[in-house]
């Protein structure tokens, strides 16, 4: 009789959680970093509420999602940054070329918007995320010789923006996250999350549509041009 290791059993159970298109669709939607109701996710995935409830129960029990209740409403979100990193990392392995061709102009537009700029859980991704990461590196704010690390200039740059970087905890200050459309890393970790939050709170970026796509505003074009030297035309 072959004895399988507990690690193999746990890995198979985790893989089984995402081996369903509806559950995968829920996790991808939740990469926007927000909490969704079960009804919103059901409509997003085009399944019945009862079907959504069963799938969400499995994802919560498996540790990929966390559940919150407010009154009569049940909200779910990705359990933590580690769960988001797992989903985005698996998506990077599929590659954009694996996606089926868009069926409508609306779908093509939505896909293009996601590629230009989106949130990856709580940090910026797509062309926008990698452009900011590259600009920070070119200006000596971000060091990438042996992984991602903020330089002294980078720490002062965040302080100059009035952005506090919470130290401590298990999450690294700066970390590279492989971008599934650009196939290059963008900035994640505490610094990536703080920069994304600042960009949204300051009106540099706004969310568009019902997906994770974000668009740079005129104010954001000026700010990113002044702070990082990114040409405004490149952000459109």
Last residue of a domain, one of 36, 61, 79: 79
What is the torsion angle, in degrees rounded to the nearest 10, for the CA atoms of residue 94, residue 98, residue 101 and residue 107?
0
In a domain, 96, yes or no: no
For each of the chain's 236 residues, which pLDDT tens digit applies?
566 788 898 899 999 999 999 999 999 989 888 889 999 999 999 999 999 999 999 999 999 999 988 877 889 999 988 898 889 888 877 765 445 555 666 666 777 888 899 998 899 999 999 999 999 999 999 999 888 999 999 999 999 999 999 766 778 999 999 888 888 999 999 999 999 999 999 999 999 976 689 999 999 999 999 999 999 988 88
149 and 213 fall within a common domain: yes
169-218 pLDDT per residue, tens: 778 999 999 888 888 999 999 999 999 999 999 999 999 976 689 999 99
**What's the pTM?**
0.76
Tally the C-alpha atoms within 13 A of residue 205's C-alpha that lie toward its C-beta: 25
3-state class percentages of the chain: helix first, strand second, coil last, to nearest 5: 55, 15, 30
d(CA 121, CA 169): 18
Domain hosting residue 35, numbered range = 6-79
Q: 113 lies in a domain?
A: yes
């Amino acid at each position: 009789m072959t004895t399988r290791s507990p690690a193999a059993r746990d890995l198979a159970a985790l893989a089984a959680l995402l081996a369903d298109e509806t559950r995968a669709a829920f996790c991808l939607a939740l990469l926007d970093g927000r909490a969704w109701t079960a009804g919103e996710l059901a409509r997003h995935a085009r399944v019945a509420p009862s079907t959504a409830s069963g799938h969400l129960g499995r994802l919560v029990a498996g540790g990929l999602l966390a559940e919150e209740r407010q009154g009569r409403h049940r909200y779910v979100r990705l359990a933590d940054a580690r769960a988001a990193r797992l989903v985005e990392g698996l998506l990077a392995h599929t590659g954009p070329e694996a996606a089926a061709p868009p069926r409508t102009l609306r779908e093509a537009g939505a896909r293009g918007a996601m590629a230009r700029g989106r949130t990856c859980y709580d940090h910026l991704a797509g062309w926008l995320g990698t452009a900011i990461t590259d600009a920070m590196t070119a200006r000596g704010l971000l060091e990438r010789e042996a992984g991602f690390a903020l330089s002294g200039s980078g720490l002062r740059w965040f302080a100059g923006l009035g952005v506090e970087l919470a130290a401590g905890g298990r999450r690294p200050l700066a970390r590279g996250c492989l971008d599934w459309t650009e196939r290059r890393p963008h900035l994640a970790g505490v610094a990536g999350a703080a920069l994304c939050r600042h960009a949204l709170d300051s009106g540099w970026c706004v969310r568009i549509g019902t997906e994770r796509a974000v668009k740079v505003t005129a104010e954001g074009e000026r700010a990113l041009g002044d702070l990082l030297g990114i040409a405004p035309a490149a952000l459109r």
